[in-house]
Amino acid sequence: MIRLFIDCDPGIDDAIALGYALCQSDVEITGIAASAGNVPVDAVTRNALAWLELTGRTDIPVHRGAENPVAHRAGDPAPIFADDTHGPLGAGHAVLDEPTTTAHQLSAAEAWVQTARTHPGEVIGVVLGPHTNLALALRLEPELPTLLKRLFIMGGAFNYRGNTHPTTEWNITWDPEAAAEVFAAFGAPGTPLPVIGPIEATEAVVMTPQLLGQITSSSSAAPRWRQYLGQLAEALRFYFEFHEWDGHGYLAQIHDPYVTAAAIGWARAQTADSLPAAEQEIIPWAHTADAAVDVELIGTLTRGETVADWLGRWNRQPNATLIRSLDASQFLTHLAETLMRGPDQ
């Protein structure tokens, strides 16, 4: 089995990513860390529990994360959330029942550590929201980068316009200190480089009303899954409206499902004996490049900007594999077929 630990902030595209992962018969989601980000942490936790309950997967533990960024201090302004993008409750127009389950007693940071220690070298971490929980986990267990199989991240805008401030992406902007801690800790010599899917690549993955209609009308899955798809469609309707208001048209850029699928596809290749070693390391659907990366923490206009040293000016070894572009059309076909099929069980 491929073991995933998913740190996310549902969030509409997070809900699609979770649904995609639930459709994989060879994937075990060992836990979900609920990160404040798109909406406050209590709403994120509720959404994660509610989406799982809607799909019948109450067996997957959800761990409540930190309320504030790691550098937040008493008296600081409250964090800003993306309710304009994802709706006031983080689920767009979807109406999710109040979950009957509750969050696990372990915090998100503690869950990162426990999962990695329980399955050393086996768990792939997937970060789809801010890096707060993972940064706190690193403070508890500095050896975490050597305990995980690999880390996949959705975040950043490298030499590209941002989607939050002019040069910054939301997940990094919400807690830049946490992201900087994570980038500094992972990618050490002898360990797999973390894979980062920034918005200049992931924004090519576009859901349209036409594709959504194909998914919801063609699904032959069980009634419970069709109910999930129905609520997902309502969530996406809000996402379409936001993107239209933001000048992109009546569509939705869905970032998180691709990074989740890339993590799973890469993991499958590791066990494919028929593939040469070099092909086993290829990130599915993607063109990649390795670079030393960091986060700007001080700039008046650029705080939260992710920077890649393509010219080697820092004299640092690469600490990340960046997805530079991807075959969005091929991936969207795969995503649609997966969601129409639904989970095997």
Residues annotated as part of the active site: 255
- Dihedrals phi, psi of 162, to nearest 5 degrees: -90, 180
Rounded CA gap, 51 and 66, in Å? Answer: 20
Q: CA dist 58 to 14, 53, 101, 301, Å?
A: 17, 5, 7, 43
Q: How far is CA 320 from the centre of its chain?
A: 16
- Dihedral sign (CA 11, 49, 197, 214): negative
Q: What is the largest CA-CA distance in the chain?
A: 58
- Dihedral sign (CA 296, 70, 146, 8): negative
